[in-house]
Amino acid sequence: MPDRSQFSCINDIAGMDFMGKSYVVAGNLYGSEVETPRNDASVGLIMKYDNETGMYAVPPAESGLIVKGEVRHIIPIKLVTGKYALLFGINSNGLKLIEIDGDH
């Protein structure tokens, strides 16, 4: 796994068939023991795979994916417009929808 994918815990990973061999991961864990600091360094991450370089991370500045909070679930969906999006279930914060550009 790329270094960027290890900044915080991963609570869910979803395949994005519409972008080739691509995945999105997100997580964070706020409810930890008193002596353990919370894992809150993730803003989500798109990872792609190619046969030459293997798995690599697309930086958030390039992908536009920034999801704050304790993400519990990710669902890739196709919108009525024909575009693709990711629906994030965020603990104690509801849902967040982010459109994804298939070029990243």
Q: How confident is the model at residue 19 (pLDDT cuts 50, 70, 90)?
A: confident
Which of 72, 8, 17 has its CA nearest to residue 45? 8
Q: How confident is the model at residue 95 (pLDDT cuts 50, 70, 90)?
A: very high
Contact (Cβ atoms closer than 8 angstroms) between residue 25 and residue 10: yes
In total, how many domains does the chain have? 1
Host domain of residue 69: 3-100
Each residue of 49-86: pLDDT tens digit?
Answer: 988 989 999 999 999 999 999 999 999 999 999 999 99
Residue 103's pLDDT is 56
CA distance 69 to 40: 8
